[in-house]
Chain A
């Protein structure tokens, strides 16, 4: 049961996937994480309520600090809609909290490559985020062809690909090809960096 037939990787050492058709079917109770799932789930959704409430306050606060004494056109100024949205955010956060406390819970999204029967794999997410941010940090310095390749290779590595020959080749090929297509065909300029200066 390896991820692939062609030897991309020594797959990460988790147990093999569940039976093909039934992986997702028991999603709700099993998914939440390592700890005591139900209790934890209830609490984590209350966190969403708090965030929504905070967002509502932020929008309201921002709205009332808009100066409306000049440039006002028409009876409805720039404040009205933010006040409405902020207020509704407060209301919805309270309604959601009520729903959660009554035992309601959001339906976690499934998908064809998603196995909800195992706890969240935070290591992969963090590595992936790292690859993404590395591109953001490097694109201005080393240019897109290199930073894009780092992004692709890093992301593939994070997701469990361990072919040290093919991965970087695919990454470099994709990155340079994309650079050429965007720069030369689409006319959207991406930073070439020192590497493209040499070529």
Chain B
């Protein structure tokens, strides 16, 4: 009851004209960005971090949440019309969505995706309303050792669960931790890795790191390998669904969120694994199995509903524990830090207006997405024709504006460039970007919590494991670390070596990575094989 009251007040916040406007801007911007090749929602939120200097926190987060949901939707448009997924979450959609579009059923595919997002977002957000306050109240007593354990879990999970190579994941994580070390030690005021520079003593602003790794690094990387001769999108009309399509799609829409939400909440790579699981599930359950690979509508409806629900799940762990499980959540966490707000169990007590306004705006955004996107789909499709030089020049332009706005110093632009080069090199050598960015954002906080815990225990390492909660978390961490060894001991599982066999093999062995290339490749091989 209390929750409903708070939610009601949240709607009061979210439905003010100004916030409604920010939600609409966020949703439209997010969709546009999801459609545009080369920009993901994480980069979009990173590029928009400078607005945190001007907007009230509630408005800013309402906008960011709109971008997140909108980006999920926009990515599917690219998948369906171009066969090149805009986001990792939309990789699976291309398998069925693109054949549908080629058969002249693009309108139905887009409609199945749009309504799937609506249903997924709605169910996911309802689950968020039900679960988040409970999780927050359970977690409200957790102390320094528990926080530290959660952060260790985040570090280990992003490096071990995601990506194809653990050692490269760890390398990326350590690079991020090193960047996080730069500046004054918060407890003693000692300078670390500043080399006497006053500018570095403040640390490197997380805006610069995020924008550098995502935006500048990506632009330079694309510039080195720009594809000449763009793929032409398939023209499409206004989305609609026939009765037969509806009959086939409604169950996948409802099943998807149940898979997506829990996966979004745990640090297992956001939407990539659950969308794949949803695809496999729908294929097994479908009466039209022979159509899969040639344009089965279930294969669009299920994964898309899953993707949206996983975004809601991500927000549960971000808001209640301060634990970012995807790159977008990590950058949103950085935005919280910009405002000096610490997400975590206390957030629901200290900032109820902000939290519930944000949650209510998710409902608003979900509805806005459906209302705006069904009629606007042909417009979005036209965005795919933007000249690539303008697109990437624009990204660099806004990256520079954002970095300069941090403190108005040219040195920040040079730092941005250096971190951009780092991002370029990481892409070139297959080091995933996500562990680095999570380490930059969580690293300093993790150090503080660890030192606080050890202070309480007077330096004894048992101070890190003196609560049941932290012990449980470390058990999970150990299981993740030892997983390659454990897997060999488990009977009856085929080796995890052949990703092409993944079609019948749920994600347990599918090393779905943060890097898009791997999964796109897999998906293409799969697709080609099924032709």
Residues on A lying within 8 angstroms of B by beta carbon are 1-6, 8-9, 11-12, 14-17, 20-25, 27, 44-45, 48, 52, 55, 58-59, 62-63, 66-68, 71-78, 80-82, 85, 88-89, 92-93, 95-96, 99, 104-116, 118, 120-122, 124-125, 128-129, 131-133, 135-137, 139-140, 144, 148, 151-161, 170-171, 174-175, 178, 182, 185-191
Which residue from chain A places its CB closest to the CB of B400 in the assembled complex?
A: A135
Residues on B lying within 8 angstroms of A by beta carbon are 37-38, 50-51, 53-54, 78, 82-86, 164-165, 167-168, 170-171, 174-175, 177-178, 181, 185, 187-193, 216, 218-232, 385, 387-390, 392-394, 396-398, 400-401, 404-405, 408, 410, 413-414, 417, 420, 424-425, 427-431, 447, 450-452, 454-455, 458-459, 513, 515-518, 520-521, 524-525, 528
Q: Do A71 and B54 have beta carbons less than 8 Å apart?
A: no
Which residue from chain B places its CB closest to the CB of A110 in the assembled complex?
A: B517
Which residue from chain B places its CB closest to the CB of A114 in the assembled complex?
A: B225
Residue picked from B189, B413, B513, most chain A C-beta under 10 Å: B413
Measured CA separation A52–B78 after assembly (Å) = 37
Whole-angstrom distance between the Cβ of A158 and the nearest chain B Cβ: 7
Which residue from chain B places its CB closest to the CB of A15 in the assembled complex?
A: B228
Which residue from chain A places its CB closest to the CB of B421 in the assembled complex?
A: A129
Contacting residues, chain B, for A106 (C-beta < 8 A): 165, 168, 429-431
Measured CA separation A66–B187 after assembly (Å) = 14
24 contacts between A and B (CB under 8 A): A3-B228, A3-B229, A3-B389, A11-B228, A55-B175, A58-B193, A59-B193, A71-B189, A74-B459, A85-B177, A92-B174, A104-B165, A106-B429, A109-B430, A110-B517, A111-B517, A112-B85, A122-B224, A136-B400, A140-B410, A148-B401, A155-B393, A156-B389, A159-B223
Q: Do A8 and B413 have beta carbons less than 8 Å apart?
A: no
Nearest 8 A/B pairs, CB to CB: A106-B430, A75-B459, A110-B517, A17-B229, A155-B393, A161-B389, A159-B389, A74-B455
Contacting residues, chain A, for B165 (C-beta < 8 A): 99, 104, 106-107
Whole-angstrom distance between the Cβ of B84 and the nearest chain A Cβ: 4
Q: Do B397 and A109 have beta carbons less than 8 Å apart?
A: no
Q: Do B392 and A52 have beta carbons less than 8 Å apart?
A: no
Which residue from chain B places its CB closest to the CB of A93 in the assembled complex?
A: B171
Contacting residues, chain A, for B175 (C-beta < 8 A): 52, 55
Decide yes or no: A114 and B167 within 8 Å by CB, A21-B524, A125-B220, A190-B401 being known contacts. no
Kindly identify which residue among A8, A154, A160, A186 contacts B226, using a CB–CB cutoff of 8 Å.
Answer: A160
Contacting residues, chain A, for B408 (C-beta < 8 A): 189-191
Q: Do B181 and A188 have beta carbons less than 8 Å apart?
A: no
Whole-angstrom distance between the Cβ of A65 and the nearest chain B Cβ: 10
Which residue from chain B places its CB closest to the CB of A45 in the assembled complex?
A: B429
Kindly identify which residue among B85, B187, B223, B430 contacts A107, using a CB–CB cutoff of 8 Å.
Answer: B430
Measured CA separation A104–B163 after assembly (Å) = 14
Q: Do B521 and A24 have beta carbons less than 8 Å apart?
A: yes
Kindly identify which residue among A81, A133, A148 contacts B417, using a CB–CB cutoff of 8 Å.
Answer: A133
